[in-house]
Amino acid sequence: MTSHPTDLQDTATGPAGQLRPREPASPWHRRIRVRALLVSAPVVLMAVVTVADLLTPDWLHVAPVLAAVPVLAAVLLPYWATAVLAFAVPVTAGLLQWEGRSYGHPDAVVTLGSLSVVGLTSLIACSLRQRRERQLRQVRSVAETTQRALMHPLPRRIDSLALSGVYLPAESEARIGGDFYEALRTPYGTRILIGDVRGKGLPAVGATASLLSAFRELAYGEPSLTRAAEQLDAHAQRHIDALDGVPDPGTSQGRDAGALFTERFATALLVEFPTDASVARIVHCGHPEPYVVHAGEVRPCEPGSPGAPLGLGDLLEAELAAQTVPFGPGDRLVLYTDGFIEARDRRGRFHDLADQVRAHAGRPLEAMVAALRRDLLRHVRGDLGDDAALLALERLP
């Protein structure tokens, strides 16, 4: 089964300078290490507080700090471990009071009572946390299934084209967003769609599903790529019109047309690689221009007459036209969504995708895509503000 595009592995240099996949650590060993760290944190804290209380003078009581142990356990450990520590904390505090000859004093009784209340509260909090985690696992499972249904696993090769892609949702737990791509072998050659739906959440997912379904039908049935783009735009407009007047989930009012056209359009690129010519035909629908890599040189493929985003064709009245560019053996085409170029670091600087493509253009295709993914996550320090998708293609000899 083809691996999912978001599961790209980092690469490392092997013998004779060749790139090979870096061997990942065993999942079993990783789980053991993580579990050991989680278990050790509250236990170490309890040991440190106990030793500190034994070493300090009788007038200084450190035992109340033990209240942090069950709280920390409720955040990190399962219910049974939290229960054990919640019981062990007042017992340990009582033994420390006995050793310090303060057991039975009013302040000591208050301390034991407080530790018992904190322990019970931690048990309740741990139970709620585990329930939410089970719900989150179910949601993630549904999201992963939905993503596989919407965005089919990307093939590594179609005819003479090698493909590699990456998809990064802004909400890491959601696993799906408004960016999308598709690659199909058709009677007219290999056809590619990459796009970005305006908006977030379930409405964006619904628009993505609608556009991908329409493209899969049009790619096989429409000989003209330009005509396919026009019909895809008409489909997007029908999708918008179908939502007109639908009650907004947050209010009892229907959505107005202005809000719809603001939230429901999609930028897109349609690309066709005919089987009888070493060219690529590109139809721009308001989408960022792709990069062409030829003989180590990276240049943007700027359209002569960019079209309107899907869903806005009748408003902007921009004619769609196919741009033909040479695409011979060894050439690469890098398609992406605006999440790869509008991502900002903590200083507000945009991510320079063109420079990163130049830096990694000499690497194998999958290694280049993996490096571009790492560069983006490093630039934003793992905090994406928008979905990001990238698809790279190479013409094989």
Q: Residue 162 pairs with which residues in a beta bridge?
A: 157, 394
In a domain, 344, yes or no: yes
| Statement to judge: residues 129 and 164 lie in one domain | no
| Statement to judge: residues 131 and 220 lie in one domain | no
**Averaged pLDDT for residues 211-238:** 90
Structure tokens at 321: 């036209």
Q: Tell me the angle at which helices 27-55 and 68-76 cross, rounded to the nearest 10 degrees.
A: 180
Domain span holding position 237: 151-395
pLDDT of residue 147: 67
pLDDT of residue 157: 93
**For the chain, what is the domain count?**
2
- Of 105, 92, 85, which is closest to residue 54 (Cα–Cα)? 92
pLDDT of residue 35: 64
| Statement to judge: residues 163 and 300 lie in one domain | yes
CB contact at 8 A, 395 and 362: no
Q: Tell me the angle at which helices 79-99 and 27-55 cross, rounded to the nearest 10 degrees.
A: 20
DSSP state of 65: G
Q: How confident is the model at residue 258 (pLDDT cuts 50, 70, 90)?
A: very low
Rounded distance, CA 90 to CA 192, Å?
A: 65
The CATH number covering residue 335 comes to 3.60.40.10
Rounded distance, CA 335 to CA 291, Å?
A: 7
Q: How confident is the model at residue 135 (pLDDT cuts 50, 70, 90)?
A: confident
| Statement to judge: residues 239 and 381 lie in one domain | yes
In a domain, 136, yes or no: yes
Give me the half-sphere count of Cα atoms (radius 13 Å) on the Cβ side of residue 86: 24
Residue 351: phi and psi, rounded to 5, are: -75, 125
| Statement to judge: residues 246 and 356 lie in one domain | yes
Please identify, among 75, 107, 142, the residue that sits at the C-terminal boundary of a domain: 142
pLDDT of residue 381: 84
| Predicted confidence (pLDDT) at residue 216 exceeds the cutoff of 60 | yes
| Statement to judge: residues 60 and 158 lie in one domain | no
Q: Which helix (H) or strand (E) holds 183?
A: strand 179-186
| Predicted confidence (pLDDT) at residue 309 exceeds the cutoff of 80 | yes
Lowest-pLDDT choice from 55-59, 85-89, 164-168, 242-246: 242-246
Q: How confident is the model at residue 292 (pLDDT cuts 50, 70, 90)?
A: very high
**Greater pLDDT, 146 or 155:** 155
Mean pLDDT computed over every residue of the chain: 80
- Of 214, 166, 168, which is closest to residue 191 (Cα–Cα)? 214
In a domain, 198, yes or no: yes
- Of 220, 153, 158, 166, which is closest to residue 394 (Cα–Cα)? 158
**Averaged pLDDT for residues 388-392:** 92
DSSP state of 26: P
Top-ranked range on mean pLDDT: pick from 52-66, 93-107, 125-139, 180-194: 180-194
CB contact at 8 A, 273 and 267: no
Residues of the chain above pLDDT 70, percent: 79
| Statement to judge: residues 235 and 382 lie in one domain | yes
| Statement to judge: residues 125 and 162 lie in one domain | no
| Statement to judge: residues 333 and 184 lie in one domain | yes
| Statement to judge: residues 157 and 43 lie in one domain | no
In a domain, 9, yes or no: no
pLDDT of residue 343: 86
In a domain, 5, yes or no: no
| Predicted confidence (pLDDT) at residue 284 exceeds the cutoff of 50 | yes
pLDDT of residue 263: 54
Q: How confident is the model at residue 262 (pLDDT cuts 50, 70, 90)?
A: very low
Report pLDDT digits (tens) over 328-374: 999 999 999 988 998 888 888 898 999 999 999 999 999 999 999 99
| Statement to judge: residues 71 and 203 lie in one domain | no
| Statement to judge: residues 346 and 234 lie in one domain | yes
Structure tokens at 397: 């000899």
CB contact at 8 A, 196 and 190: no
